[in-house]
Amino acid sequence: MTADTSFGFLSKVPDQCGYLVFADRAIVKSDGDLSNREATMVAVEKILGVLNPNVLPNTKFYQLTVSYPEYSYTIIESGKYTFVVKRRLHT
């Protein structure tokens, strides 16, 4: 059985204005504001490097949200993939 890598569910995230999926330092799929944004991938990898278990022992990373006044980035790791979704915030 092969894994479904279409990631169609990302287009259904409410208020999303872009998403990025990467694995092994390569973009697998992207769309919207995050389409082919390698700089975003590199920044997320640096952020996740800080969450390394050696730096923060006895912790497990599930989800990280970085918020700005008008939008937020939600970062989730699942299996070999890292998902980044940019969402508009309602003020």
Residue 54 Rama label (left phi>0; alpha psi -120 to 50; beta): alpha
The string of pLDDT tens digits covering residues 22-62 is 999 999 999 999 999 999 999 999 988 877 666 666 666 77
Of the candidates 7, 31, 38, 27, the one whose C-alpha atom is nearest the C-alpha of residue 17 is 31
Q: Tens digit of pLDDT for each residue in 10-26?
A: 888 999 999 999 999 99
Give the tens place of pLDDT for each residue, 60-88: 677 899 999 999 999 998 889 999 999 99
The predicted pLDDT at position 1 comes to 46
Domains along the chain with CATH numbers:
16-88 (3.30.450.30)
Question: Rounded to whole angstroms, how far apart are CA atoms 46 and 22?
Answer: 14
Q: Cβ(61)–Cβ(48) under 8 Å?
A: yes
pLDDT tier at 2 (50, 70, 90 boundaries)?
low
